[in-house]
Amino acid sequence: MARGTLLSERGSVPDDPVAVFEHVEQQGWGDGLPVIPPTEERVQAMLDASPLPPAHVVAVVEPRRGEATVEKIAVNAVMAGCAPAVFPALLAAVGAVTDPQFNLYALNTTTCCATPALMLNGPARQALGIECGYSCLGHNGRANATLGRALRLVMRNVGGSIPGAVTKSVFGQPGRVSLCFGEWEERSPWPPFHVRRGFAAADSTVTAVCATGTQDIADIWAETGEELIWVLAHSIDWIGNNKVLVRQEQGDMLLLLCPDFAHKIARDGISVPQMQRMLLEWTRTPIERWHRAHWPKLEQRGYVEGNVVPLAARPEQFLIAVAGGESGHHALYFCTFGLTWSVTKRFILDASWTDGESCPLPDTPPTSSRP
């Protein structure tokens, strides 16, 4: 339990939700939504969920190069509405997005709308109540909403990601408030994402993918896995894709399949590596899809092979995971910002947070889609 002296400056605000909300917005600390006042007691409760001392620096957050101490992260976690149990996952998420591979400096300053999409794996999903199924990417579940939001507040308040002044994202996007879900491992026909990355099934991990948003891919006609992968491939190879702006060998992108899609593909004996190879091959886009004036620009950059422009260079750049409701018919594509790689970090929950908390298993009535 990380009891220790808190170093943050104390402020006094009338004990009124609206007054607190207005104060936070006036200070530029918020995201436009109400916050929970980060009182000393609440911050201490958050700190109790980690063995790290409050002054421990988890990461330096670009571009302001602010020090994300455990205490500062806890303050933002309280503001976002996190339950203390979520705090270890948030610390791991901060570690993931500040890993040099993720390239947070670029994300926090680009004109693009990219934002970290957080995917949780492992037993922590159950302990924390992370939604993996129906509407897991929005309006379903406190843990999903507040974990993603807390990370964004850390990026803003520690990293200086202030719209207009520092971040030049032309539009932003709803995912810049929160974008977090769990893989529904129990409804996947394949090993969980984190296991495919070399972690143990019993490990809990958070993966950060730098995504320009979520693009729906719908299909009701594919009868085979191959047909379905064809639909997926030709739904992600559009020429305005931010991925096209960078070299093929840069960046990885996530395809999130609903359980129905995943089982249709697996039923036909197609493994994840096979699917990745098919996606690589079928996203080699004929150059004729670009205006002729673009051709020399693509060629100058070395993006053209023969008469095609490949979306990626290696199968592993297509990340595959399973989530979403049982109603089927949809996948989501998380187009990559490009100059970035996804990062997975392991975290450990204090046993006291996992005891006695349970979520419905997949076979229970569909009142919830938690694992």
Partner 1 sequence: MVTAVFENLARTAARAQGYPDLRMLVLPHPMESRAESAVREIARERFAALIALVAEEG
Interacting residue ranges for partner 1, rule: CB under 8 A: 62-65, 109, 160, 165-168
Q: Please, which residue, 170 or 218, has the CB nearer to partner 1?
A: 170
Q: Please, which residue, 167 or 342, has the CB nearer to partner 1?
A: 167
Q: Please, which residue, 33 or 166, has the CB nearer to partner 1?
A: 166
Cα dist. 172→53, 79, 108, 147 in Å? Answer: 34, 21, 11, 19
Q: Burial level of 107, CB count in 10 A (0-12/13-18/19+)?
A: buried
Q: Please, which residue, 160 or 182, has the CB nearer to partner 1?
A: 160
Q: Please, which residue, 67 or 226, has the CB nearer to partner 1?
A: 67
Beta bridge partners of residue 256, listed in sequence order:
321, 332
Minimum CB separation of residue 339 from partner 1 in Å reads: 15
Minimum CB separation of residue 73 from partner 1 in Å reads: 19
Minimum CB separation of residue 63 from partner 1 in Å reads: 5
Q: Please, which residue, 31 or 62, has the CB nearer to partner 1?
A: 62
Residue from 177, 131, 191 nearest 31 by CA? 177
Bridge pairing between strands 253-257 and 318-322: parallel
**H helix intervals, the chain:** 17-27, 40-47, 70-80, 87-97, 104-109, 124-128, 142-157, 193-196, 225-233, 259-267, 272-282, 295-300, 351-354
CB 359 within 8 A of CB 124: no
Minimum CB separation of residue 114 from partner 1 in Å reads: 15
Minimum CB separation of residue 293 from partner 1 in Å reads: 11
CB 337 within 8 A of CB 251: yes
Minimum CB separation of residue 275 from partner 1 in Å reads: 35
Strand, coil or helix: 344: strand
